[in-house]
Chain A
């Protein structure tokens, strides 16, 4: 059974600071997704990482994937209040043609002035 673990689960940051969220998964996969969820809202796709060493950046967020270590990171640079949300990583498993995703528990990020 695939397990996906994120840490930390809760992250309180000051504006302007940097931090990293980690996503570990237990079995081989070459596709990993990061999603953002605002309170009461749905999930918004942030990044799709498809191969070992993949790095993607959008604004103050940068995601990377190390398939050998079964680890993805989501790095936040110079945090701003608008980044406050819950962030999920999700990993594809099962070798199916459709997307069978297992999600991490989510990291609740709060950015303070």
Chain B
């Protein structure tokens, strides 16, 4: 595997389900990100992990819970979602702290989430 991978690619869940999205980066990067891409809205940054510590949480509802067990893996745990949470969820990674070009982010293919 190369680059940034995400599983599953498609997910349909009910509002009472619990599921998790997985992201893995094979680039040796030290920062990872979750973004939400909804129809007709710009990409929204949700969470940032730098050196495995959460450094950004952009007012994301608690029904979204991220986890970064190591620098290569990032999870987004989902529970009691709402239909308006249906979107494409993108994971990205970057090499920070002295890398050039600084902070260039590489994106995974995304998980298309539908909440019924």
Does B55 belong to the interface (CB within 8 Å)?
A: yes
Name B104's closest neighbour in chain A (CB-CB): A48
User: In the bound complex, do residue B55 and residue A98 qualify as a contact, i.e. CB atoms below 8 Å apart?
Assistant: yes
Contact B48 A45 (CB under 8 A): no
Closest to B4 in A: A42
| Residues of A participating in the B interface, judged by any CB pair closer than 8 Å | 4, 31, 33, 35, 41-45, 48, 50, 88, 90, 92, 96-106
Chain B stretch 70-107: residues in CB contact (< 8 A) with chain A? 90, 92, 94, 96-97, 101-107
**A100 CA to B107 CA in the complex, in Å?**
14
* B94, A98: Cβ atoms closer than 8 Å: yes
CB of B42 closer than 8 Å to a CB of A? yes
How far is it, in angstroms, between the C-alpha of A50 and the C-alpha of B103 when the chains are bound? Answer: 11
- CB-CB nearest in chain B for A35: B107
- The answer to whether A100 touches B48, judged by C-beta atoms less than 8 angstroms apart, is yes
Contact sample, A vs B, 19 pairs, CB 8 Å cutoff: A31-B103, A33-B104, A41-B109, A42-B110, A43-B92, A45-B105, A48-B101, A50-B102, A96-B55, A98-B48, A98-B50, A98-B56, A98-B96, A99-B33, A99-B104, A101-B105, A102-B42, A102-B45, A103-B42
